[in-house]
């Protein structure tokens, strides 16, 4: 690969000649030392260089690679993890990867397959003797030397997610690292507990791939591959019988049932060097035409897109992967369709909804607004914004409420925030209903102020402090008590325009926002904190109309849609879930659906009919699940890098991308329909500025509104 304009001329004294590959975390170059020695130089992307957690993991990669340098690995020549852009140089290995070899020439014949297996097993034995677990053995991490020598023809590379026994860098709760379909089942369900047995499982999968051209758990996407790995039986093809028995043991679901790397080496070394005539050694049929599975987690993998993970709140949905970088964009704005949402640490309790019938604002033209005028102020906290037909409304710690013209993005008016210092004051995204805008009060006492959205006139106030507030089925619901550990709290409902109190009740609930929209003028209330279950409540009177018992266990009610409740089960209060429950709130009947791995919830799902769409926040993908059958349908390509919650509008799914474009997808297949042009120049932006958003794009007639770290923007819909 040729060098690009911004590529360095040298790194650490090594002259850079060309690119070997590029990934989400950095670039790998072919370099030359002063004496002419060829090296492979990994250089971290600038945007990750300032992240302490990433630097710690990069140091771990260097230490692990140095620890296991031997005949079957690429030795570390030089490194500087403390450089402005951390880098590592290893001996350059001339030759293709196993993945390239099989793709270009087909499955290996028996002699090459036997040699590959013995050398990989020996490499793993030495890696494990050094008390390192590789955790990402796959065909693209196996290099085949162009010239075979006495020291072997195989090199294992990329220790980016390896773990040393004495390492201080640990996989965080719920984080899944590796590359389906070559990962072991426990890497999905128990990532904290992985040991050397995961590498043996991967070795078995790699041998099947080398012999047949496909992995034993092949699928059209990584999500389905993971499901097959955990729940399915391996597809081994027609292997040599002795090899078949060995591979089956390597692919055992339980780690304790697998042989050690040393046992694998001994067994392979004992197999005949040549097969008797008629003995099958590779698959009888060609590999299925399935797109290659995207890499999920190596922090710096050559020529493959890698995914970052942002530390999630305890919300519902994503397969948590990589996890090297944390923190949300301080300046992130937010746009929702008429329904309230929350950027605070509290859970957004209502799932994204379809857009009301709005029309394009008169005089509209594409615009973007970075809302950065106060960023020189060290106390500046970025605004949180909501879109309505009346306007775009933003709140921050500095300004209680700002109205942007939805046609131009220009500021129409602002309501200044008191400079009074109040402990624990938080910013609440404005809630908009029928031309009335609700925000935390301008006096910073955390009450509720109601403004006319067109004129900015104050309509009414509710003294603070209060807890959460939400607009559901025509009433403003307010938690009158602050958040605390109590199992009960007082709630009240108000007429939105006049502030007239409609009712108040004390509810036994552990949820800070227990209400969800029900049919007609009703609400569902999560009363599981007391003796109740899920109650149906009259929105105008607060009267209980009926209730059903919820499924048992430590379940989080992720969302309610069309009379159906969706719960996620927490594992030992860890914030991750391996299964969820779907309950009919009329009959009370529920059923359980297992996930193929433990997921770390990040936001409520979007439900349309029998399909649930889940934003995989950590892996930056969108997953589609058939909740009626309990099966995964599709996941978006990791090349796309989905960067927001999805929205469903007019038969399409819309998601925001890192470059501030908006992507339209077919909801049935996940295929790309089209995308808009980016609204901001994101070149050189840090991770914090480009952090994924929990807020979906909004479609108003033929105009899209979106949000990203750089700001809020509006563009024409995808044609």
CATH number, domain of 45, equals 3.30.200.20
C-alpha separations of 535 from 115, 351, 510, 556, 715 in Å: 65, 19, 14, 16, 42
Is 259 in the same domain as 198?
A: yes
With 90 as the cut, is the pLDDT of residue 153 above it?
no
Q: Which of 270-274, 419-423, 556-560 has the lowest mean pLDDT?
A: 419-423
Helix (H) or strand (E) holding 113: helix 110-129
So what's the pLDDT on residue 70?
65
Q: Has residue 501 got a pLDDT over 90?
A: yes
Task: Classify residue 505: in a domain, yes or no.
Answer: yes
The residue among 222, 253, 269 that closes a domain is: 269
Label residue 391 by pLDDT band (50, 70, 90). Answer: confident
The Cα–Cα gap between 637 and 620 comes to 9
- Helices in 510-624 by DSSP H: which ranges? none
Instruction: Label residue 424 by pLDDT band (50, 70, 90).
Output: low
Residue with the bigger pLDDT between 290 and 237: it is 237
- In this structure, the answer to whether residues 15 and 150 fall within a common structural domain is no
* Listed residue (589, 556, 557, 590) closest to 575, CA to CA: 556
Q: Is 686 exposed, middle or buried (0-12, 13-18, 19+ CB in 10 A)?
A: middle
| Tokens coding 491 | 């709630």
pLDDT for the residue numbered 286:
36
Do 523 and 583 belong to one domain?
yes
How confident is the model at residue 216, as a pLDDT?
93
Q: Give domain status of residue 704, yes or no.
A: yes
Please indicate, yes or no, if residue 72 is contained in any of the structural domains. Answer: yes
Q: Does 193 map to a domain? A: yes
pLDDT in tens, 431-485: 999 999 999 988 888 899 999 999 999 999 999 888 889 999 999 999 998 655 4
Q: Does 661 share its domain with 541?
A: yes
pLDDT for 341: 30
Q: For residue 250, is pLDDT > 90?
A: yes
Q: Answer yes or no: are the C-beta atoms of 307 and 321 closer than 8 Å.
A: yes
What is the arithmetic mean of pLDDT over 220-235?
78
| Contact status, residue 264 vs residue 200, Cβ threshold 8 Å | yes
The answer to whether residue 325 is domain-embedded is no
**Residue 167's CATH number:** 1.10.510.10
Q: What is the mean pLDDT of residues 41-54?
A: 76
Residues 184 and 60 in one domain: no
Q: Are residues 37 and 62 in the same domain?
A: yes
pLDDT at position 133: 86
Check if the beta carbon of residue 544 is closer than 8 Å to that of residue 535.
yes
Residues 31 and 154 in one domain: no
What does the pLDDT read at residue 303? 27
- The answer to the question of residue 531 being in a domain is yes
**199 neighbors 187 (Cβ within 8 angstroms):** no
**How long is the chain?**
719
* CB proximity list for 184: less than 8 A, separation 6 or greater: 178, 194, 197, 198, 201, 202, 229, 255
Q: Measure CA of the first residue to CA of the last residue in the chain; give whole Å.
A: 35
Question: Which of 100-104, 193-197, 294-298, 547-551 is predicted least confidently?
Answer: 294-298
Give the tens place of pLDDT for each residue, 178-218: 567 888 988 877 766 788 999 999 999 999 999 999 999 88
Identify the CA nearest to 450 among candidates 462, 440, 441, 459: 459
Q: Which residue has the higher pLDDT, 162 or 360?
A: 360
Q: What is the average pLDDT score of the chain?
A: 77
- Averaged pLDDT for residues 611-631: 80
Within 10 Å of residue 256's Cβ, how many Cβ atoms?
6
Cα 248 from chain centroid (whole Å):
32
Q: Is residue 187 part of a domain?
A: yes
Q: Which domain holds residue 122?
A: 98-269
Instruction: Say if residue 81 is in the same domain as residue 121.
Output: no
Of 52-56, 95-99, 350-354, 420-424, highest mean pLDDT = 95-99
- The proportion of the chain whose per-residue pLDDT surpasses 70, expressed as a percent, equals 74
Q: What is residue 249's predicted lDDT score, i.e. its pLDDT?
A: 96
Same domain, 478 and 530: yes
The string over 690-710, giving b where at least 16 C-beta atoms fall within 10 Å of a residue's C-beta and e elsewhere, is bbbbbbbbbbbeebbbbbbbb
8 Å CB contact between 564 and 556? no
**Strands 152-156 and 652-656, how do they pair?**
unpaired
Answer yes or no: is pLDDT of 591 > 50.
yes
Q: How many domains does the chain have?
A: 3
Q: Do 65 and 187 belong together in one domain? A: no
Tell me, yes or no, whether 78 and 138 share the same domain: no
**pLDDT for the residue 467:** 85
User: What is the spatial distance between Cα 317 and Cα 715, in angstroms, rounded to a whole number?
Assistant: 28
Query: Would you state the pLDDT for residue 482?
Result: 67
Q: Based on the domain organization, do 116 and 43 belong to the same domain?
A: no
**What confidence tens digit (pLDDT) does each residue in 327-352 have?**
222 222 223 222 223 333 233 333 33
Q: Which of 254, 269, 284 is the last residue of a domain?
A: 269
CATH number, domain of 698, equals 2.130.10.10
pLDDT band at 410 (very low <50, low <70, confident <90, very high): very high
* Residue 664: pLDDT band with limits 50, 70, 90: very high
Give residue 648's pLDDT band: very low, low, confident or very high (50, 70, 90). Answer: very high
Domain closes at, from 26, 56, 91: 91
Q: What single string gives the DSSP state of each residue in 443-476?
A: TSSS-EEEEETTT--EEEEE-S----EEEETTEE
Residue 326 covered by a domain:
no
């Amino acid at each position: 690969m040729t060098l690009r304009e911004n590529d360095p001329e040298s790194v650490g004294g090594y002259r850079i000649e060309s690119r070997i590959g590029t990934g989400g975390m950095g670039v790998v170059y072919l370099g030359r030392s002063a004496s002419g020695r060829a090296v492979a130089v990994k250089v971290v992307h600038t945007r990750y260089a300032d992240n302490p957690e990433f630097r710690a993991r990069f140091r771990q990669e260097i230490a692990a690679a140095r620890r296991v340098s031997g005949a079957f690995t690429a030795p570390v020549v030089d490194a500087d993890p403390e450089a402005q852009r951390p880098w590592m140089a290893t001996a350059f290995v001339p030759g293709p990867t196993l993945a390239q070899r099989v793709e270009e020439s087909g499955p290996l014949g028996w002699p090459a397959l036997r040699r590959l297996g013995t050398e990989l097993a020996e490499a793993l034995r030495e890696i494990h003797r050094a008390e390192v677990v590789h955790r990402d053995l796959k065909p693209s991490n196996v290099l085949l030397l162009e010239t075979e020598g006495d020291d072997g023809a195989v090199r294992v590379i990329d220790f980016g997610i390896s773990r040393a026994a004495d390492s201080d860098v640990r996989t965080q709760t719920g984080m899944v690292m590796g590359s389906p379909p070559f990962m072991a089942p426990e890497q999905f369900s128990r990532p904290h507990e992985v040991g050397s047995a995961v590498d043996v499982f991967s070795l078995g999968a790699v041998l099947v791939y080398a012999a047949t051209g496909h992995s034993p758990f092949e699928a059209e996407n990584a999500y389905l591959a993971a499901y097959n790995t955990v729940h399915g039986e391996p597809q081994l093809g027609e292997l040599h019988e002795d090899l078949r028995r060995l591979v089956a043991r390597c692919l055992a679901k339980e780690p304790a049932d697998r042989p050690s790397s040393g046992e694998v080496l001994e067994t392979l070394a004992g197999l005949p060097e040549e097969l008797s005539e008629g003995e099958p050694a590779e698959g009888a049929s060609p590999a299925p035409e399935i797109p290659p599975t995207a890499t999920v987690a190596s922090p710096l993998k050559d020529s493959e897109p890698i995914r970052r993970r942002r530390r999630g709140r305890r919300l519902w949905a994503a397969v948590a992967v990589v996890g090297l970088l944390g923190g949300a964009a301080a300046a992130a704005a937010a746009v929702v369709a008429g329904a309230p949402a929350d950027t605070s640490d509290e859970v957004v309790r209502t799932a994204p909804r379809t857009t009301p019938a709005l029309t394009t604002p008169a005089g509209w033209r594409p615009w973007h607004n970075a809302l950065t005028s106060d960023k020189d102020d060290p106390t500046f906290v970025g605004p949180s914004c909501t879109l309505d037909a009346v306007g775009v409304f933003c709140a921050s710690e500095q300004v209680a409420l700002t109205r942007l013209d939805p046609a131009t993005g220009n500021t129409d008016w602002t309501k200044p925030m008191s400079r009074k210092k109040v402990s624990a004051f938080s910013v609440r995204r404005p809630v908009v209903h029928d031309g009335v805008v609700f925000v935390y009060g301008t006096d910073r006492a955390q009450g509720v102020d109601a403004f006319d959205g067109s004129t900015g006139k104050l309509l009414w106030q509710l003294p603070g402090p209060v807890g959460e507030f939400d607009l559901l089925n025509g009433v403003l619901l307010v938690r009158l008590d602050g958040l605390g550990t109590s199992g009960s709290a007082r709630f009240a409902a108000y007429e939105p325009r006049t502030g007239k109190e409609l009712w108040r009740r004390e509810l036994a609930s552990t949820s800070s926002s227990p209400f969800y929209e029900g049919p007609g003028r009703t609400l569902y209330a999560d009363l599981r904190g007391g003796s109740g279950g899920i109650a149906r409540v009259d929105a105008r009177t607060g009267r209980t109309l009926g209730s059903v018992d919820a499924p048992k266990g430590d379940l989080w009610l992720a969302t309610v849609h069309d009379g159906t409740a969706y719960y996620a089960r927490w594992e030992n209060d860890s914030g991750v879930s391996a299964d969820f429950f779907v309950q009919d709130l009329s009959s009370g009947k529920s059923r359980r659906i297992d996930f193929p791995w433990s997921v770390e919830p990040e936001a409520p799902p979007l439900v349309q009919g029998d399909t649930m769409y889940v934003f995989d926040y950590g892996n930056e993908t969108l997953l589609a699940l058939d909740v009626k059958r309990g099966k995964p349908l599709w996941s978006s390509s990791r090349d796309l890098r989905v960067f927001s919650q999805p929205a469903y509008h007019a038969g399409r799914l819309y998601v925001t991308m890192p470059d501030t474009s908006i992507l339209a997808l077919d909801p049935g297949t996940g295929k790309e329909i089209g995308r808009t042009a980016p609204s901001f120049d994101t070149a050189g932006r840090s991770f914090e500025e480009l952090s994924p958003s929990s807020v979906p794009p909004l479609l108003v007639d033929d105009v899209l509104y979106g949000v990203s770290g750089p700001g809020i923007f509006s563009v024409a819909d995808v044609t």
